[in-house]
Amino acid sequence: MAGPSREERAWVKGAQAGSAADLERLFRAHWPLAFRAAVLVVRDAAAAEDIAQESFLAAVRALDRFDRRRPFGPWLHRIVVNRAIDWTRTRALRAEVREDAAVPATDEPRDSDAPALVAALAGLSPEHRAVIVLRHLLDYSPGEIADILELPRGTVNSRLRRGLDQLREAIGEELR
């Protein structure tokens, strides 16, 4: 994993010292990918915005413990993806408990992702969806994903393989 740029290290140092301007720079630099990761895991734009904001606030609260020799983005993405997975699990549990168990349709991400891929991605478990998003949409290596999610690399590779196999199957069926 490449280290942070000098600029990012300076922003983190400034934010740790209480600089609102440096904190804003960190936010502007990392918000788009944090939100994208959340929306692709939870499939609900409003919830994703809340998750990304809460994650950024959690990162800010823990900034004094952050090692600025490491890149800020992967650390933030770990927080975002873990919160998104928790949100998805909680929502699934609530749906099981409700008598009507009908889950309203969620907002689809409004970007260049192919509709078939987005629909297939939504069919994956949150754990599989998270590693696919981190690997193929945010361009992290499997080793970086293992670090971000604090999982063994073999688990990441297994989830990637199973998730990709499920995506191929789902997309193949939709195209027939």
Mind listing the pLDDT tens digit for each residue in 141-169? 999 999 989 899 999 999 999 999 998 88
Weakest mean pLDDT among 37-46, 89-98, 134-143: 89-98
pTM above 0.85, yes or no: no
**DSSP 8-state code for residue 66:** -
What is the reported pLDDT for 114? 61
Token pair in block for residue 104: 């309203």
Angle of helix 45-61 relative to helix 72-97, nearest 10 degrees, comes to: 130
Helix (H) and strand (E) counts for the chain? 8, 0
Q: Give the DSSP letter string of 58-114.
A: HHHHTGGG--TTS-HHHHHHHHHHHHHHHHHHHHHHHHHHSSS-PPPPPPPP-SSS-
The model's pLDDT over 99-110, given as tens digits with 9 standing for 90+, comes to 443 444 444 444
Q: What is the average per-residue pLDDT within 100-127?
A: 62
The model's pLDDT over 18-69, given as tens digits with 9 standing for 90+, comes to 999 999 999 999 999 999 999 989 989 999 999 999 999 999 999 999 987 8
